[in-house]
Structure 1
Amino acid sequence: MSAQTIVVIGGTSGIGLEIAKDVVARGDNVVISGRDLARAQEVAASIGPQATAVAVDLSEPDTVGPGLASVGKVNGLVIAAIERDANSVRDYDFERAKRLVTLKLVGYTETIHTLIDRLDPDGGTGIVLFGGRAKDIPYPGSTTVSSINGGVEGMTVTLALELAPIRVNALHPGIVGDSPFWAGKPQSVLDGHRARTPGGELATMADIVDAVQFLLRNRGISGTSIYIDRGVRVT
């Protein structure tokens, strides 16, 4: 079987980078994106010759088309680019809110729009969108993030209908204990989150990577949101 090409938007660091590495480890080719082309190329070189890099900024959708112009046929697309922002209603910063809304709801859609004619129109082609558990486990200041991630769930359903037979699914991670964002948090904070899961453990980046590969490859699933949170929703 010939190597496939998977595009990972937001693949230069964190979970996106782990996904990109796993794609190559499976013998496929990966195209990673970051905001800075030189850095993205440096990261791609560290992954190996099966990795190439492009530069896009989803918060500026007009960069998406030119940034992805060099990408050829695509067998799978993972949009893992995210930003975090605590933006309370009492101290509302609408510029930050607009940036996040644009990044996920407009930037994600524009990426798919740009690549649609290069996505193999087959049930073996999967698109994976990243949301997050803040959509139904809010925290103070999460109004924008919670709303956007709820929007990702809505996008997943409508895009699965519009793009069939290409499959579209969403992944909503909980707290990923060994991710760069969470690994440096105080132990007491992590222990508090662990105590909320049935098994006393947090999700890992390996858990997320495994779920992404499942959604990319399993022909039987589309229009579905999957939670990777070690069961925190049942406690």
Structure 2
Amino acid sequence: MSTTLKDKTVLVVGRGSGIARAVSDAAMQEGARVIAAGRNRAALRESYRRSAATVATVDVTDEGSITALAAEVGVVDHVVCAASARARGAVAELEPDAILRSFHTKVVGPIMLTKHFAPTMPESGSFVLLSGVAALEPDPGFLAVAATNGAVNTVVRSLAVELAPIRVNAVSPGTIDTGAWDALGEQGKAELFGRLSAANPARRIGTPEDVAHAILFALTNTFLTGVCLPVDGGQPLV
């Protein structure tokens, strides 16, 4: 059974671009009231200045900030956490602070979001977290990313049981063109995307909208809980 997002309040945590923005836009198209929250309120205001979304401030690595956000916005029907802090690098290059920042952003922070938003959330509500293909596809240079995403997959199962009937799910993107790969430079990004597109069964790179569609499915399918939906073009298959 599916439900609608019309007149529901959806809190989307993340930047004002990429997956978080695609989710916000898609939810508003379905009639939801969207609260877009992130660390840089000024940047969010600029990003959403032509949007009907309400902008708020939160740092998911700071429980006090999450407590303040919950007090500010009140009851919400759904929470989507798309915040990330990737700790890429071979094991010899990894620094503890980077690993912990990644873990606090994608694992501890979302747990604290459920701690402070679930008590007032209606039983029909849900949480959606972001995992990632690295949890299923070990690859040199992505050890910390894989460990973090693997933890997310475990967290959603535990939270789905503990918070029932509130639903908790994750969506696991593959390689998505969010702008995160722009640091490789135009040529480096093109070479990477060309190689991955030729190898994965979907024969293309994913878009933020691909992921947003899966997140909306997780928000609205009332018989879906405790699962991690892969949106990865079949990347782990090859």
Normalising by structure 1, report the TM-score. 0.91
Distance 1:95 1:231 in 2: 32
Query: How far does the alpha carbon of each residue in 1:62-109 deviate from its partner, in whole angstroms, 9 at most, with x for none?
Result: 321113321122111111111222143223311111111111221110
| 1:11 CA drift (Å) | 4.6
- Identify the residue that residue 179 of structure 1 maps to in structure 2: 178
Distance 1:188 1:39, change over 3 A: closer
Give the 3-state SS of the residue equivalent to 1:194 in structure 2: helix
- Identify the residue that residue 164 of structure 1 maps to in structure 2: 164
Amino acid at match of 1:115: F
Distance 1:188 1:89, change over 3 A: closer
- Identify the residue that residue 107 of structure 2 maps to in structure 1: 105
1:6 counterpart = 2:10? yes
Q: 1:118-197 alignment to 2 at 5 Å? A: 118-122=120-124, 125-176=125-176, 178-182=177-181, 186-197=189-200
Amino acid at match of 1:172: S
Distance 1:103 1:206 in 2: 22
**8 Å Cα contact 1:57/1:63 also seen in 2:** yes
Q: RCO (CA 8 Å, sep 6+): is it higher in 1 or 2?
A: 2
Query: Alignment identity in percent?
Result: 29
Give the 3-state SS of the residue equivalent to 2:199 in structure 1: coil
1:207 counterpart = 2:210? yes
| 1:43 CA drift (Å) | 2.9
User: Where do 5+ consecutive residues of structure 2 fail to align?
Assistant: none
- Larger displacement relative to structure 2 (145-154 or 5-14): 5-14
| 1:233 CA drift (Å) | 2.4
1:42 to 33, 39, 46: 46
Query: How far does the alpha carbon of each residue in 1:14-56 deviate from its partner, in whole angstroms, 9 at most, with x for none?
Result: 11011111111212100011102222233333212xx111111
Residue-pair matches, total: 230
Distance 1:38 1:68, change over 3 A: farther
Distance 2:106 2:202 in 1: 32
Distance 1:112 1:46 in 2: 30
- Identify the residue that residue 21 of structure 1 maps to in structure 2: 25
**8 Å Cα contact 2:85/2:101 also seen in 1:** no
**8 Å Cα contact 2:22/2:208 also seen in 1:** yes
Distance 1:143 1:61, change over 3 A: farther
User: Where do 5+ consecutive residues of structure 1 fail to align?
Assistant: none
1:77 to 56, 76, 79: 79
Distance 2:67 2:203 in 1: 44
Normalising by structure 2, report the TM-score. 0.90
